[in-house]
C-alpha cells in the first residue's frame, strides 16, 4: 500500500514569530536560514519573503497585525512545509485578534501560497479603537506583564507573596527581562506567552553547584560582597530611571546611545560618595546571612532592603543637576570596555587550569555561580579569557565591564555617549565602584565614513609613540631605565602563531539581534574603530585622551594595526611594528617636532568633526590640546 503523504502547510511570519526563540516556544520547531540545514522534522527553512498589499500596525504595542493597504508591503519570512499538527498550537497562540488567510507571498525565486495570520479588524477596532501608543506607554504595558510573570514565578517556585522577595526574583531574572524588553521593541511586540515562558520556565539562580565546594569557601564572602553592592547599584539605577524619567528623556541624548548611561553614572556617583554607608549595608548583610546555609536570593533580598534605606531622591537631584551642567556633546559616538584583574594578564594564562594567586576571587572562577552575569548586565559585566565571551562556563579571566552592551551572548551593543566628559566620568566611577585592580581599557568610536574604511591605513611611528607615551604605562627598570609596559610584555603583543598587535581594530558592531537561525533584522551593522592599547588607571584623565584619539581618527583615518595578515603582506607594517617595539623596550624622549605633529593632527581632526566644522567649542578643543601636551611633557620629563 502507498505511504500516506503527511499534510503540510507554508506559513508567512512577520511579527513576534520571527524571533527564533518565540517560534520554538510556540511551535516546538527551529527556524534555519539555510535550506540545507532544514530537516523537515525539527528544523524548517525560513527564507526572506514579501507580503504585498498589507501593512503592519500595533495598536496595543504588544502584538503586530497585518491589515490590508494597497500602498504597502510587509517584509517577513516564508517557512516551508510545516506539519499540520503544529497548526493547533499556532491558532491558540495567535488568538481571536487574528484571522487566518491563504495568500500569495513573493520570494527570490517566485511566489507561493502561504498561510498568513492577519489582523481581525472588527476585533481590533472593538478592543483598541484607532489609538496608537508611544514607546513609553509600550514600556509601561510591557513592565506590567513582566511584573505579573515575576509574581507567578515567586508564587510557584518560592511559595511567597512578598514585595522584597519579588524584587529579588526580578534582580535574578535581569538578563531575561533585558532580552524581553529589547526583543519587544525590535520585532514590534512580544506575547504574554513568550514572557511567561522566558521567566517562569527556568529555576531561580542559586549557587547549588558550589555549595559543598571547599575551594569556594575562602572566596565566597568576596563574591557575596560584590553581589550585595551590585544589587544596591541596580536598585538605585532602576529608581532613578523610573522617578526621573522626564528629566532623563529631556537630556540631549539621542536614541542611538545606550539608554542607561546617565542613570548609571548618577547611581555610581552617589554610591561612590556613600562608601561608608554602603560598606555598613554589606557588613550587616554578611553578619545576618552566611554561605552556604542561606540561598543567593536571601542575600539579594537583604541588599534590596539596604538600598531602600540608602536611596534619597534629593541626592539624585543634586547629581543630575551636576551632570546636566557639565554635558558637552560632540558628534562622534564613543564607547568603552574596562578590564579588571587582581593578578593582571596572567589570569588568562590558563582559564580553567591551576588556580591563580587571586585570594579575593580566584580569577572569577565562580562568577556565574553567584549570578553576577545577571546582576552586572546593566554595565555589561562578563568574564573574558581572551578566547571566548560565551555565557555560563566556569573559567578564569578578566572581569570586563562593556558599557552599552545589550547582550554579551548575541554580541550586540550601542555606543554610550558622544561626550568625552561623560565617558571619563563613567570610566573613573566604574573603577572606583569595583574593588578590583584595573588593568586595561578599550575605547571605541565610529569612523566618520561608513563606506568600507581602509583597514590597512598606517599611522606614522611618531603618532603611535605619542599615544603610548600618554597611556601605554611607562615603568622603571631595576637599573633605573624605563620601558613602555604595554609594548614590552605579551599583554597586547603576540608573536605566536604569527605576529600581531592590539593597537586598533576596525570591525562591525550590531545593535539588533543576528543569530544562526535568522539574519540580522534592521541595520546591517556599523563600522567601529576600537583602540585597545590603553592602560586602565585611576591616574589617567581619559577625557583629553578620547579627544586625542578622536582627532587622530578624524584626520588620519587609521586602519587596523596589526593583524597577522598585515604583518605577512606589508613591509611597512612590519617595519613600524618592530621600530615601535624597539622604542618601547628603551624609550627615548619625544622630539618637539613629533609632539607638534601629533597635536596638529588632533586639532585638524577636531576642527572638522561635525560635517567639516568643530563639534566642540574652540575653547574646549584648546583645553584638550593643552592637556595632551602636558601629558607628553610629563613623559619626557620622566624619561630624561
Out of 53-57, 374-378, 468-472, 514-518, pick the least confident: 514-518
Length of the chain: 640
Q: Name the phi and psi angles at 438, rounded to 5.
A: -70, 145
Q: Confidence class of residue 392 from pLDDT cuts 50, 70 and 90? A: low
Cis peptide leading into 63, omega within 30 of 0?
A: no
372 vs 329, more confident = 372
C-alpha distances in Å from residue 396, one per residue of 362, 504, 611, 631? 7, 25, 45, 35
pLDDT tens digits, one per residue of 223-255: 999 999 999 999 999 999 988 887 888 887 677
pLDDT digits (tens, 9 = 90+) for 99-134: 999 999 999 889 999 999 998 877 766 555 443 334
The residue that leads in pLDDT, 67 or 280, is: 280
* Closest C-alpha to 433, from 266, 308, 242, 248: 266
Q: Can you list the alpha helix ranges (DSSP code H) found in 107-214?
A: 121-128, 135-153, 163-171, 174-187, 192-200
Sort strands 412-413 and 398-402 into parallel, antiparallel or unpaired. Answer: unpaired
What does the pLDDT read at residue 354? Answer: 53
pLDDT > 70: percent of the chain: 92
- pLDDT confidence tier of residue 34, bands split at 50, 70 and 90: confident
Mean pLDDT of the chain, nearest integer:
89
Sign, CA dihedral 187-174-415-577, equals negative
With bands split at pLDDT 50, 70 and 90, how would you rate the model's confidence at 519? very low
Mean pLDDT of 47-65: 83
Quick: pLDDT tens for 575-598: 999 999 999 999 999 999 999 999
Angle at CA of residue 583, ends 577 and 587, nearest 5°: 155
Question: What is the rounded CA–CA span in Å between residue 71 and residue 85?
Answer: 35
Q: For position 518, what pLDDT does the model report?
A: 40
Contact 150, 173 (CB under 8 A): yes
Range from 72-76, 132-136, 178-182, 321-325 carrying the lowest mean pLDDT: 132-136
Q: Across-strand partners of 444?
A: 335, 530
**What's the half-sphere exposure (Cβ side, CA atoms, 13 Å) at 43?**
14
Bridge partners for 112 per DSSP: 105
Say what the pLDDT of residue 516 is: 39
Q: Which residue has the higher pLDDT, 468 or 132?
A: 468
pLDDT digits over 137-165, tens only? 577 778 888 999 999 999 999 999 999 99
Average the pLDDT over 420-447 and give the result. 97
Amino acid at each position: 500500500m502507498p505511504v500516506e503523504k503527511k499534510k503540510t502547510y507554508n506559513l508567512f511570519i512577520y511579527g513576534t514569530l520571527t524571533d527564533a526563540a518565540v517560534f520554538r516556544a510556540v511551535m516546538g520547531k527551529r527556524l534555519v536560514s539555510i535550506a540545507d540545514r532544514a530537516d523537515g522534522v525539527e528544523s524548517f527553512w525560513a527564507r526572506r519573503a514579501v507580503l504585498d498589499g498589507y501593512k503592519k500596525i500595533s495598536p496595543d504595542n504588544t502584538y503586530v497585525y497585518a491589515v490590508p493597504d494597497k500602498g504597502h508591503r510587509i517584509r517577513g519570512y516564508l517557512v516551508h512545509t510545516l506539519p499540520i499538527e503544529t497548526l493547533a498550537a499556532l491558532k491558540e497562540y495567535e488568538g481571536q485578534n487574528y484571522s487566518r488567510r491563504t495568500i500569495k507571498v513573493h520570494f527570490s525565486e517566485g511566489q507561493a501560497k502561504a498561510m498568513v495570520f492577519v489582523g481581525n479588524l472588527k476585533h481590533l477596532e472593538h478592543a483598541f479603537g484607532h489609538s496608537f501608543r508611544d514607546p513609553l506607554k509600550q514600556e509601561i504595558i510591557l513592565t506590567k506583564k513582566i511584573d505579573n510573570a515575576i509574581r507567578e514565578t515567586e508564587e510557584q517556585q518560592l511559595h511567597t507573596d512578598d514585595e522584597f522577595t519579588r524584587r529579588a526574583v526580578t534582580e535574578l531574572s535581569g538578563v531575561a527581562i533585558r532580552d524581553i524588553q529589547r526583543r519587544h521593541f525590535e520585532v514590534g511586540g512580544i506575547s504574554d506567552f513568550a514572557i511567561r515562558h522566558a521567566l517562569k520556565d527556568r529555576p531561580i539562580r542559586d549557587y547549588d553547584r558550589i555549595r559543598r565546594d571547599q575551594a569556594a569557601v575562602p572566596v565566597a564572602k568576596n563574591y557575596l560582597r560584590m553581589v550585595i553592592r551590585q544589587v544596591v547599584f541596580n536598585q538605585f539605577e532602576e529608581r532613578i530611571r523610573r522617578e526621573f524619567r522626564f528629566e532623563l528623556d529631556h537630556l540631549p541624548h539621542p536614541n542611538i546611545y545606550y539608554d542607561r548611561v546617565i542613570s548609571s553614572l548618577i547611581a555610581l556617583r552617589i554610591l561612590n560618595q556613600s562608601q561608608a554607608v554602603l560598606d555598613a549595608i554589606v557588613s550587616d548583610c554578611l553578619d545576618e546571612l552566611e554561605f552556604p546555609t542561606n540561598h543567593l536570593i536571601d542575600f539579594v533580598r537583604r541588599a534590596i532592603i539596604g538600598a531602600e534605606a540608602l536611596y534619597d531622591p534629593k541626592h539624585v537631584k543634586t547629581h543630575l543637576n551636576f551632570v546636566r551642567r557639565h554635558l558637552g556633546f560632540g558628534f562622534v559616538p564613543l564607547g568603552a570596555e574596562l578590564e579588571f584583574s587582581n593578578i593582571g594578564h596572567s589570569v588568562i594564562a590558563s582559564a580553567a587550569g591551576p588556580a591563580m594567586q587571586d585570594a579575593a576571587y580566584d580569577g572569577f572562577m565562580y562568577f556565574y555561580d553567584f549570578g553576577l552575569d545577571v546582576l552586572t548586565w546593566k554595565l555589561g559585566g562578563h568574564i573574558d579569557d581572551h578566547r571566548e565571551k560565551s555565557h555560563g562556563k566556569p573559567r578564569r579571566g578578566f572581569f570586563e565591564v562593556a558599557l552599552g552592551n545589550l547582550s554579551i551572548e548575541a554580541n550586540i551593543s550601542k555606543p554610550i555617549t558622544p561626550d568625552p566628559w561623560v565617558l571619563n566620568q563613567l570610566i573613573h566611577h566604574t573603577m572606583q565602584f569595583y574593588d578590583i585592580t584595573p588593568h586595561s581599557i578599550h575605547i571605541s568610536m565610529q569612523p566618520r565614513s561608513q563606506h568600507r574604511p581602509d583597514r590597512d591605513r598606517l599611522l606614522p611611528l611618531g603618532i603611535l609613540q605619542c599615544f603610548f607615551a600618554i597611556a601605554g604605562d611607562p615603568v622603571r627598570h631595576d637599573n633605573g631605565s624605563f620601558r613602555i609596559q604595554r609594548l614590552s610584555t605579551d599583554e597586547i603583543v603576540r608573536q605566536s602563531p604569527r605576529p600581531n598587535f592590539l593597537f586598533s581594530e576596525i570591525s562591525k558592531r550590531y545593535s539588533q539581534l543576528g543569530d544562526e537561525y535568522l539574519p540580522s533584522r534592521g541595520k546591517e551593522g556599523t563600522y567601529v574603530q576600537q583602540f585597545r592599547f590603553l592602560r586602565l588607571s585611576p591616574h589617567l584623565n581619559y577625557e583629553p585622551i578620547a579627544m586625542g584619539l578622536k582627532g587622530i581618527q578624524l584626520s588620519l583615518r587609521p586602519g587596523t594595526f596589526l593583524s597577522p595578515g598585515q604583518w605577512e603582506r606589508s613591509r611597512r607594517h612590519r617595519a613600524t611594528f618592530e621600530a615601535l617595539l624597539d622604542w618601547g623596550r628603551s624609550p627615548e624622549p619625544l622630539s618637539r617636532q613629533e609632539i607638534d605633529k601629533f597635536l596638529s593632527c588632533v586639532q585638524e581632526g577636531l576642527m572638522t568633526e561635525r560635517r567639516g566644522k568643530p563639534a566642540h567649542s574652540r575653547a574646549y578643543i584648546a583645553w584638550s590640546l593643552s592637556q595632551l601636551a602636558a601629558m607628553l611633557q610629563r613623559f619626557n620629563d620622566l624619561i630624561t
